[in-house]
Amino acid sequence: MESDTQRGTIRKRANPPKHFSMLRTFHLADFVTLANAACGVLSVFYSMLYVDGRAVVHFFIAAAMMPAAFVFDVLDGRIARWRHQHSAWGGSSIHSRISSHSALRLQPWDSQQACGEDGM
């Protein structure tokens, strides 16, 4: 006769976890959260491109990504509340830290570089 632990082991083997299980649990708000993180990362990368190449278009793209990240951050919370859903992605503040702290700290330095050392 099988014990309870042996039957539980057999059941676990019969139902293995599905592949891409995290992607299967994505909500609409999670995609907006990813867009927020993407805007923050792009702002940092375009700031670095501007410092390296001095192309003013990179500075303006980096500056435009920050308000876009803010819009996605607001939409993320509103969509989650509207649909009464929450997930680990939405509860995390990593995307907000990337878009708010890193990008915002680079922008004044980039604008100083764009205007010259004396700020004019």
Query: Residue 77: which pLDDT band, with cuts at 50, 70 and 90?
Result: confident
Give me the number of domains the chain comprises. Answer: 1
Alpha-carbon distance values, 37 to 29, 98, 99 (Å):
13, 7, 7
Contacts of 31 (CB under 8 A, 6+ apart): none
Q: Please tell me the distance from the alpha carbon of residue 44 to that of residue 7, in angstroms, as a whole number.
A: 53
Query: Residue 34: which pLDDT band, with cuts at 50, 70 and 90?
Result: confident
Query: Residue 28: which pLDDT band, with cuts at 50, 70 and 90?
Result: confident
> In whole numbers, what is the pLDDT of the chain averaged over residues?
74
Domain containing 111: what range? 30-115
On whether the CB atoms of residues 49 and 55 are closer than 8 A, the answer is yes
Instruction: Let me know if residue 81 belongs to a domain.
Output: yes
Instruction: Let me know if residue 12 belongs to a domain.
Output: no
